[in-house]
């Protein structure tokens, strides 16, 4: 039992080291890339633009539900005028970055992992190597930098739509004063809150993109079976690991930021 | 034929305790066609991958006689390894766009020129999935040729092809080798068909090159241990599965 646990622990540490080295070599090879702007734009389209609809939809419904739930909690303390503040702070500091990251992982992260995994199985990554092209630079680094741009922007979209969703339920449906809703947001949300949300988005962007790319890139050694089933296995693992990492790192970042 | 050789010395590779290549020595004349034959899973593709640098050999060296510099080398994969989301033009232009010093116009001219020579000018804007298997092979060859390599490594280029297409791929390799003058090192299972186009045959067995000679020599007086491989029959091959 102890031996097995120890072995598992060593495996986890080894994989963490591998992901870190993979990330460093991918990030470092960006500036040796040709047609960098073109690759970045394509990656921004894949990670960012294609995730806008799902981010907006989830953001709107999250805001609607949050407005409803918080309204009924706040009425118990006759504090429904605080609804705007409660919705905005919950979304900007916590729900926005976390939900956005999970949505992007579901849409773009899984696609990234599967695409690179298929390219590995079809020997396309080996082909890049024989052409003397840096495979990590070509396949991973533009996506890594695109994630740094897209995650905060999509989080901002989520925040805005979510707060608007809270307004729809609280003000339009349940009769909270509109002026009080927006004024509370204006008074209580500071630039520090917004910055903290963006810090989370940036960290989630780097971590999830790395995990998804890593799982795809090493599908031939990470999957228990080769071929299509192997790609499906590593893609699933990429999404699950990314979601866990989002929640775990969210806790760590929040504790760190609140202590400051 | 050139008097220079691609010199491979003591090339070794093992996976765990299994020895795949056991101190292989080869002298491959440049501008010639050499085919490595041998049973499935014996390590022929590993040999090519070690030569190309895709796999790191445990020991050994690769050089060219009279020179320390190994000439540029390309690799043609069994399944072509074309990027399915790139067009034929983009696939062939990829090495030039990513590594070369050429401008847009020069790339366009170079790629168009090679696609024309390989009779692919009508497939320029098609995706690999939209063209035939034979055309895909030619696109892979065009991509391998675009950087002007002196050596091309072919990893079982006829896998999964019917006899007619098999011969057209062999014919394509022969014609374009004559036209472009590159060295071919090929791994193939297609014995004796491949003997029609190759200059030398190397038989890989148990990690060693057990036979090296011309196809003519091989067919006229095959070593006894190669007899079964060259002339398989149901009785003799029963145990090999």
pLDDT band at B32 (very low <50, low <70, confident <90, very high): very high
For residues A92 and A198, what is the distance between their CA atoms, to the nearest angstrom?
Answer: 9
Beta-carbon separation of B81 and A123 below 8 A:
yes
Domain of B119 in residue numbering reads as 82-149
pLDDT at A206: 95
With beta carbons under 8 A apart, name residues in chain A contacting B78. Answer: 123
- Confirm whether B193 is domain-assigned: yes
pLDDT band at B231 (very low <50, low <70, confident <90, very high): low
Beta-carbon separation of B81 and A124 below 8 A:
yes
- Yes or no: say if B20 and B46 are a contact pair by the CB < 8 Å rule: yes
* pLDDT beyond 70 at B236: no
At B136, list the tokens: 């895909």
Beta-bridge mates of residue A158: none
Phi, psi angles (nearest 5°) of residue B171? -65, -40
Give me the residue from A33, A130, A138 closest to B54, CB to CB. Answer: A130
Mean pLDDT of chain B: 85
- Yes or no: say if B152 and B76 are a contact pair by the CB < 8 Å rule: yes
Instruction: Tell me the three state secondary structure of residue B200.
Output: strand
* B54 and B165 part of one domain: yes
CATH number at residue B207: 3.40.50.300
At B89, list the tokens: 């033009």
Q: How far is A123 from chain B (nearest CA, A)?
A: 5
ipTM rounded to 2 decimals: 0.83
* B67 and B50 part of one domain: yes
> Is A6 exposed, middle or buried, given 0-12, 13-18 or 19+ CB atoms closer than 10 A?
exposed
Contacts of B205 (CB under 8 A, 6+ apart): B38, B39, B42, B225
* B122 and B13 part of one domain: no
- Confirm whether B76 is domain-assigned: no
* B31 and B86 part of one domain: no
In angstroms, the Cα distances linking B182 to A245, B53, B62, B75, B166 are 51, 19, 18, 12, 21
Please give the interface size between A and B, counted as residue pairs whose CB atoms are below 8 Å apart: 46
Beta-carbon separation of A132 and B52 below 8 A:
no
Give me the residue from A33, A34, A124 closest to B83, CB to CB. Answer: A124
* B123 and B18 part of one domain: no
- Confirm whether B122 is domain-assigned: yes
Mutate to test the interface with A, among B81, B129, B157 (most CBs of A within 10 A): B81
Q: How far is A69 from chain B (nearest CA, A)?
A: 46
* B62 and B156 part of one domain: yes
pLDDT at A63: 96
Say how many domains are in chain B.
2
Biggest CA–CA distance in chain B, Å, is 61
- Confirm whether B179 is domain-assigned: no
> Is B187 exposed, middle or buried, given 0-12, 13-18 or 19+ CB atoms closer than 10 A?
buried
With beta carbons under 8 A apart, name residues in chain B contacting A119. Answer: 83
At B8, list the tokens: 């491979």
- Confirm whether B132 is domain-assigned: yes
Rounded (5°) CA angle A202-A21-A147: 25
* B103 and B209 part of one domain: no
Phi, psi angles (nearest 5°) of residue A34? -85, 160
- Please report, in tens digits, the pLDDT of each residue of chain A (260 residues total): 888 999 999 988 998 999 999 999 998 888 788 888 999 999 999 999 999 999 999 999 999 999 999 999 999 998 888 999 999 999 999 999 999 999 999 999 999 999 999 999 999 999 999 998 999 999 999 999 999 999 999 999 999 999 999 999 999 999 999 999 999 999 999 999 999 999 999 999 999 999 999 999 999 988 888 889 999 999 999 999 999 999 999 999 999 988 76
Q: Is A78 on the interface with B (CB under 8 A)?
A: no
- Confirm whether B183 is domain-assigned: no
* B166 and B238 part of one domain: yes
- Yes or no: say if B35 and B186 are a contact pair by the CB < 8 Å rule: yes
Mutate to test the interface with A, among B45, B50, B90, B98 (most CBs of A within 10 A): B98
User: How much of chain B, in percent, has pLDDT values that exceed 70?
Assistant: 90
Q: B139: number of CA atoms within 13 Å, CB side?
A: 31
The stretch B166-171 carries a mean pLDDT of 84
With beta carbons under 8 A apart, name residues in chain B contacting A123. Answer: 77-79, 81
pLDDT band at B238 (very low <50, low <70, confident <90, very high): low
* B114 and B142 part of one domain: yes
Q: Is A3 on the interface with B (CB under 8 A)?
A: no
Last residue of a domain, one of B92, B118, B149: B149
Between strands B59-64 and B73-76, the pairing is unpaired
The stretch B93-115 carries a mean pLDDT of 89
> Is A26 exposed, middle or buried, given 0-12, 13-18 or 19+ CB atoms closer than 10 A?
buried
């Amino acid at each position: 039992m102890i031996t097995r646990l120890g072995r598992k622990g060593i495996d986890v540490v080894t994989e963490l080291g591998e992901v870190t080295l993979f990330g460093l070599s991918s990030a470092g090879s960006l500036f040796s890339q040709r047609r960098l702007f073109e690759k970045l734009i394509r990656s921004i389209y894949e990670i960012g633009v294609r995730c806008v609809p799902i981010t907006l939809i989830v953001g709107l419904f999250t805001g609607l539900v949050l407005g409803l739930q918080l309204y009924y909690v706040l009425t118990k303390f006759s504090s429904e005028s605080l609804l705007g503040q409660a919705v905005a702070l919950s979304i900007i500091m916590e729900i926005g970055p976390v939900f956005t990251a999970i949505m992007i992982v579901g849409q773009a992260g899984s696609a990234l992992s599967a695409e690179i995994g298929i390219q590995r199985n079809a020997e396309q990554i080996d082909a890049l190597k024989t052409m003397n092209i840096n495979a990590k630079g070509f396949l991973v680094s533009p996506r890594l930098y695109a994630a740094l741009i897209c995650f905060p922007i999509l989080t901002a979209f989520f925040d805005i739509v979510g707060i608007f969703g809270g307004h729809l339920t609280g003000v339009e449906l349940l009769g909270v004063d509109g002026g009080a809703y927006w004024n509370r947001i204006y008074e209580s949300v500071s630039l520090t809150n917004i910055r903290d949300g963006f810090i989370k988005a940036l960290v989630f962007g780097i971590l999830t993109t790395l995990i998804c790319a890593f799982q795809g890139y090493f599908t031939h050694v990470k999957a228990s079976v080769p071929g299509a089933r192997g790609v499906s296995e590593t893609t699933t693992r990429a999404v699950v690991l990314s979601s866990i990492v989002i929640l775990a790192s969210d806790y760590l970042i929040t504790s760190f930021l609140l202590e400051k | 034929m050139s008097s220079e050789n691609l010199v491979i010395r003591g090339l070794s590779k093992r996976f765990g305790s299994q020895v795949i290549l056991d101190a292989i020595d080869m002298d491959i004349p440049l501008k010639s066609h050499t085919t490595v034959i041998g049973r499935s899973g014996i390590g022929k593709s590993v040999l090519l991958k070690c030569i190309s640098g895709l796999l790191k050999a445990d020991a050994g060296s690769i050089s060219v006689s009279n020179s320390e510099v190994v000439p540029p080398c390309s690799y043609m994969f069994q399944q072509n390894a074309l990027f399915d989301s790139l067009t034929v033009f983009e696939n062939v232009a990829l090495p030039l766009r990513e590594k070369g010093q050429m401008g847009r116009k020069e790339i366009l001219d170079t790629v168009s020129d090679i696609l024309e020579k390989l009779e692919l000018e009508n497939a320029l804007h098609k995706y690999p999935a939209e063209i035939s298997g034979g055309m895909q092979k030619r696109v892979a060859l065009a991509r391998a040729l675009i950087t002007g390599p002196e050596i091309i490594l072919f990893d079982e280029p006829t896998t999964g092809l019917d006899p007619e297409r098999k011969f057209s791929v062999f014919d394509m390799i022969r014609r374009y080798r004559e036209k472009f003058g590159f060295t071919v090192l090929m791994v193939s299972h297609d014995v004796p068909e491949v003997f029609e186009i190759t200059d030398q045959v190397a038989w890989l067995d148990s990690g060693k090159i057990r036979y090296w000679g011309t196809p003519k020599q091989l067919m006229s007086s095959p070593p006894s241990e190669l007899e079964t491989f060259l002339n398989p029959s149901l009785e003799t091959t029963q145990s090999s599965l």
